[in-house]
Amino acid sequence: HSGERTGHSGARFTDVVSIGIGGSFLGPKLAVEALRPYWQGSINCHFVANIDGTDITETLACLNPDTTLFLVQSKSFRTQETLENSLLARQWFLDNGGNAASVSQHFMAVTANVEEAARFGIEPANTFPMWDWVGGRYSLWSAIGLPIALTLGMAAFRELLTGAHAMDSHFREAPERENLPVIMAMLSVWYNNFWGAESHAVLPYDEYLKYLPEHLQQLDMESNGKRVTQNGISVDYPTGPVLWGGVGANGQHAYHQLIHQGTRLIPADFIIPLRSHNPVASHHAALFANCLSQARAMMAGKTEAEAEQELLAGGLDGDAARQLAPHKAIPGNRPCNILLMERLTPHTLGALIALYEHRTFVQSVIWDIDCFDQWGVELGKQIGNEILPKLLGESEDGSAGDSATDNLIRLFRDRSGT
C-alpha cells in the first residue's frame, strides 16, 4: 500500500490474484467480499480456483502484468488445480513483458511446503509458511488470510482475528445453556436426527455476505459428511445434513416456497445486521421486514380456516374460497434462527465464522465422527490423477476399470484429437 514493494518495472501493485481452491479460496474470498466497505482502495483482489480455463482467462484479461502480484495458496503445494493455474499465470507473466529473473517479484506463496514452492521459482523470502496441521476449511485465520490482509490492511485483519477470538473465548467459557455454538449444534442434531431434516438453509440478508453459504458448505459438509465413527465403526444414524442457501430477499422469489409449503422439514438460519453500510432510502427497513416476515411465516404459518376467511373477506364466494384455501394454507412450525449483529464489521464477521466453526465441531463430537479429515475428497483426487494421463494419451493402459468411464474417455479423446 505504501509503494515500497513494487513490480519489476518499478510500478506499484494495483491487483492481487489469489490462486487456491477449497479452504485456500472460499474463506478468504468470503472475508474480502464481505468486508468491501473496509478495503484500503489501492489494491484490488481477484480469486482464481476453478481448473476450468475460463476462470483464470477471464481474470487475467483485465490485468496489467506490471502491476499484478500473484499469491499461490496451497498447503501442500501439490494441489492440481492450484498448480495448473499458477503455471498458466507464470507463463502469462513471461509472455507479457516479464522474465525469469523478475518472477520472484510478482509471485508469492502461502504453503507448508516451502521446498516445493522454491522449486516452482518462488523465493523462500517470498513464502509465508503455515503449519501443516491447519485444515484448509479452518485456515483463513492463518497466512492463508493474506489476501484479506492485503486488501483490508493489517488493522482490519487483526480485528477479524479479534472477533474470532471473542467467539473462541465464549465457546470455551460460557455455560452450555448460554453457549451459542453449543445451542446451534444441539438444535441441528435435534432436527437432523430426531425430525428427519436432511438439509439446512443459511440465508444472509446482507449482500456483502453472499459468499457465506459457499464457505459454510465446505466447512460443514466436508467436516461432517462421514459414515463411520472415530473408531471406524459404521454409524446407524444420520450425520451431516446438506447445507445450502443464498442471499437475502432474492431467495424469497425462488426456493423459499419449498421451505414454507414443501414436504421436507428445512431448518433455516436468517442472518442480518441491524445497520447497513449503505442506508439508501428505506431499503434496509424493507430488507429487515422481509427477514422478519419470512421467519414469522416459517414459525406461524397460516391455517386452512384462516386462508378461507381471508379469501371470503377478499370477495371470493364460498365454494371458490373452500377450493382455494388448501393451496394457501402454510403449516408453520418450521424451525429457524435469527442471528443479529449491530453491523457487519471485521470483528462481527470473525465472530460469525468462528460461531459456525465451533458449531460444526460440537456436532461432530455428538456424532462421534472426525470433522478434521476428508478422505472422500482425497479419493476423487486420486482417481482424477489416474484418469488424466488416459485423457491426454500418455498412458498405454486406456482403461479406467469400468465401461462407463472408459466410453467417456474414448469420446473425449476422439473429440480433442489426443
Q: What are the C-alpha distances in Å from 137 to residues 93, 359, 380?
A: 30, 14, 18
**Residues counted in the chain:** 418
Active site residue 222: yes
Residue among 178, 283, 378, 381 flagged as catalytic: 381
Residue among 253, 327, 394, 396 flagged as catalytic: 253
Q: Which of 159, 222, 308, 357 is catalytic?
A: 222
For the chain, how many helices (H) and strands (E)?
Answer: 17, 9
CA 193 to chain centre: 25
Rg of the chain in Å (alpha carbons): 25
Give 282: exposed, middle or buried? Use CB within 10 Å, 0-12, 13-18, 19+: exposed
Alpha-carbon gap, residue 338 to 202, rounded angstroms:
10
In order of 137, 298, 302, the CA distances from 294 in angstroms are 30, 6, 13
| C-alpha–C-alpha distance, residues 373 and 386, integer Å | 22
Q: Is 75 a catalytic residue?
A: no
Phi, psi of 382, rounded to the nearest 5 degrees: -60, -45
DSSP 218: I
Q: Which residues are catalytic?
A: 222, 253, 381
